[in-house]
Amino acid sequence: MSKKPARFRVVGAACALGLVAALLTGCGSDGGSGDGVAKLTFAASTFGDPGRGPQLTAWLEEFNKSQDKVQVSAAAVPYPTFGQTVLTQMGSGKGPDLVRFDMPEFEAAADAGLIAPLDELVDAGKYDLLKQPDQFMVHDGVRHGIIFEASNYAMFYNADLIPTPPTTYEEFTATAKSLTKGDVFGLAFRQTEAEEAGVWQDIFNYVYGFGGAWSDGKNLTINSPENLKGLQAYKDLYDANVIPRGADAATFRRMFAEGKVGMELNNGGYVTATRGQNPQLNFNVAPIPFPVRKQGAILAPIVINEASPAKDEAATFIKWALEPQNQVKLQEILGASSVATTTQRSAASLEKTPFLTVFDELTDSSLPQIVLGFEAKTPDIRKVVVQNVIAALQGKADLKSALDRAQQQATELVG
């Protein structure tokens, strides 16, 4: 028998084995390093922000310099796909060690057991945590997260166009109408299905600002009279053509920075971004002038992935972040947002941004944009509500029927 075919087979088999081995090693993770240093990843969409991202990365570097056994690297995942990307990774038992979540995804992940309970890892009682946002970090007595950023919603207005901000809803609509001329619009908000999460954040202010709520804690109340009133106000403004219809948030925020939008309801996280787009813009901030002083807040907890092999090391980072001097630095980076603990703003930052106190004073009346009692189902309920509200905006149904339909669909969904 010839040796060549045999040699050929051996080479072929070796190549196949090599390929399989390469595939297997390629699929695995490094799981740390051989020098005794635990290498962790911290995923947050804010690492990709043009203004705050580099500063947050520098803040992480301060932690790395202070440690010889733990190193944390930033993983910037874009905001629109953050939840999907990270939750998919975590669902398959992988993913970053530390995650900065938004509330709907935080609730879904906590409910699915993808987040490590923190009670054994971080002694939260040691810190002066802000009570209002912190209460949402605990489920059935188990702590799943620590607030990384809390950002309250307020009314941003162009002070050149609006010398005195409106203080009632009637003044608000009158101001929006009077400012809308040519390519200038009195107001802007999200109103397209492509921005489902953003629409949910925006309509939340109208629902709660008119005394409504998505639930009473036990049952959904999507079609309650108060909700209808608040969403009717939202629809009336849409119908009045005082907003740039079809414009997404990126577009109308640029228009606001260019002086082509008079007002928008936004969270404190956008102060830095607005200044970044136009440092010369003369804008100010006031509470949202709706009948009830209740508005949304972006709560972004930091959590530890249940699948992380280095939970203690991840907790070391959280404890470092909670130290008073590091909280102050974090707050300076985050601008008008709050952090986990009570901190004093510096005189320099108050001089540069006098309206920071407006955001701080809203903390007690701000609520996370979740459905209380149905927290883990918030993304599903959000989809149903937004689709039906947009159907009403587009004239496919009257608002009351749309909310009745949303109530029915969401109730079926949550069982």
Partner 1 sequence: MTVLDQTRAPGTTRGPGAPRRRSPLGSRWTPYLFLGPAALFILVFQAVPLVQEVYLSFTRTSLLNPTRSEWVGLDNFNRIFGDPDFRHTLLITLVYVVACVVGAVGAGLVVALLLNRGFRGRGVARALVTIPWAAPGIAVALIATWMLNAQYGIVNRLLDAVGLGVPGGAILDSPRYALPAVLATTIWQLFPFTSVVLLSALQAVPQDLNEAATMDGAGRWASFRAVTWQVIKPTVGLLALLMTIWSLRRFELIWLMTKGGPVGATETLVIDLYSQAFDSKELGSAAAIGMVGVIISLIVITGSRLVARAVEKENVR
Q: Name the site residues for partner 1 (rule: CB under 8 A).
A: 2, 4-5, 7-9, 12, 84, 87-88, 90-92, 108-109, 112-114, 183, 191-194, 196, 241, 244-247, 251, 255, 379-380, 383, 387, 390-391, 394, 396
Q: Which two tokens stand for residue 278?
A: 């136009």
- Shortest Cβ distance from residue 247 to partner 1 (Å)? 5
Q: Which residues of 324-335 are buried (b: 16+ CB within 10 A; e: fewer)?
A: eebbbbbbbbbb
Which residue, 23 or 348, is less far from partner 1 as judged by CB?
23
- Shortest Cβ distance from residue 88 to partner 1 (Å)? 6
Which residue, 2 or 325, is less far from partner 1 as judged by CB?
2
Q: If you ran DSSP here, which 8-state letter would residue 344 be given?
A: P
Query: Are 200 and 369 spatial neighbours (Cβ–Cβ below 8 Å)?
Result: yes
Classify 369 as helix, strand or coil: coil
Q: Which two tokens stand for residue 16?
A: 């196949």
**End-to-end Cα separation, the chain, in angstroms:** 71
Tell me whether residue 294 is exposed, middle or buried, using C-beta atoms within 10 angstroms of its C-beta: 0 to 12, 13 to 18, 19 or more.
buried
- Shortest Cβ distance from residue 30 to partner 1 (Å)? 23
Classify 327 as helix, strand or coil: helix
302 φ, ψ (degrees, to nearest 5) = -100, 135
- Shortest Cβ distance from residue 383 to partner 1 (Å)? 6
d(CA 23, CA 343): 50
Which residue, 1 or 347, is less far from partner 1 as judged by CB?
1
Which residue, 2 or 25, is less far from partner 1 as judged by CB?
2
- Shortest Cβ distance from residue 208 to partner 1 (Å)? 24
Which residue, 8 or 309, is less far from partner 1 as judged by CB?
8
Q: 263 forms bridges with which residues in the sheet? A: 157, 187
Q: What is the dihedral of CA 75, 109, 294, 412, to 10 degrees?
A: 140
- Shortest Cβ distance from residue 1 to partner 1 (Å)? 9
Query: Are 100 and 149 spatial neighbours (Cβ–Cβ below 8 Å)?
Result: yes
Tell the residue number behind the tokens 């830095």, with chain if given: 272
- Shortest Cβ distance from residue 366 to partner 1 (Å)? 26
Measured in whole angstroms, the distance separating CA 391 from the mean position of its chain's CA atoms is 25
- Shortest Cβ distance from residue 34 to partner 1 (Å)? 30
Tell me whether residue 214 is exposed, middle or buried, using C-beta atoms within 10 angstroms of its C-beta: 0 to 12, 13 to 18, 19 or more.
buried
Which residue, 66 or 251, is less far from partner 1 as judged by CB?
251
What residues contact residue 221 under an 8 Å CB cut-off, 6+ apart? 212, 213, 214, 215, 227
- Shortest Cβ distance from residue 310 to partner 1 (Å)? 22
- Shortest Cβ distance from residue 231 to partner 1 (Å)? 16
Q: Which two tokens stand for residue 208?
A: 């709660």
Q: Which residues of 84-122 are buried (b: 16+ CB within 10 A; e: fewer)?
A: ebbbebbeeeebbbbbbbbbbbbbbbbeeebbbbbeebb
Which residue, 3 or 218, is less far from partner 1 as judged by CB?
3
